[in-house]
Amino acid sequence: MNVNLCFHGIGTSVREREEGESRYWVSENTFLRILDVVAGNPRVRLSFDDGNRSDVDIALPALRDRGLHAAFFALAGRLEDEASLSAGDLRDLRAAGMTIGSHGWTHVPWRGLDEAAARRELVDARAILAEASGGAIDDAALPLGRYDRQLLRRLAAIGYRNVYTSDRFPARASTWLQSRYSATAADSAESIGSLLTRPPGASELRVLASSAFKRLQ
């Protein structure tokens, strides 16, 4: 089983776009220590959501120094935002061997969208990000981690290779729906390291049951 580890912002959140966003920002020092813990572990796969500037200013140099690969899930509607990844940044990430995926257009939950909104978030955003980054967008990450059976069917029909959730339990490499652990400001190198050594606990088993339920809704 793999551990998919997701970051949202590195450093300090200067301006919250959504209430509680700063909870998902990890200090630069903690981030670097976490990378040192997971470097060389073939079970760990790294990703970054929300397309914050810290992805290229802090994360990319640190990943390159350690020979690590990561997937970056950007937002098409923030490409002109100075605090977010630009088209040039996406191309730089690709040139460095990183993967670019879609996190949608405006960082709204994809569950329950009408047809027009779903097309913008799932299809149009993907096309914009492909053009901006200079390559195919094969993977998607669910904003705020929300999903149900209808959304998963939509994503499968569109042809995404993998879809990433925020469900906190290990993932099999071969599954289409990939669960992830999101690092938070409360995490440390030690807490992340423990994910790699301990068996799933009761809380993770509850999340697994919840995930199974959401797929049936």
The dotted CATH code for 3-216 is 3.20.20.370
**Where does the pLDDT of residue 197 fall: very low under 50, low under 70, confident under 90, or very high at 90 and above?**
confident
Percent of the chain with pLDDT over 90: 83
Q: CA 27 to CA 146: how far, in whole Å?
A: 26
Whether the per-residue pLDDT at 37 is higher than 70: the answer is: yes
Q: CA 129 to CA 102: how far, in whole Å?
A: 7
What phi-psi label fits residue 136: left (phi over 0), alpha (psi between -120 and 50 degrees) or beta? beta
pLDDT at position 85 is 98
**Where does the pLDDT of residue 217 fall: very low under 50, low under 70, confident under 90, or very high at 90 and above?**
very low
Mean pLDDT of 6-29: 92
**Where does the pLDDT of residue 17 fall: very low under 50, low under 70, confident under 90, or very high at 90 and above?**
confident
DSSP string, 138-179: -EEE-GGG---HHHHHHHHHHT-SEEE----S-B-TT-SEE-
Whether the per-residue pLDDT at 120 is higher than 50: the answer is: yes
Mean pLDDT of 42-65: 97
Q: CA 161 to CA 212: how far, in whole Å?
A: 20
Q: What is the pLDDT of residues 125-179, one digit of tens each?
A: 999 999 999 999 999 999 999 999 999 999 999 999 999 999 998 999 999 999 9
DSSP string, 88-137: HHHHHHHHTT-EEEE--SSS---TT--HHHHIIIIIIHHHHHHHHHTS--
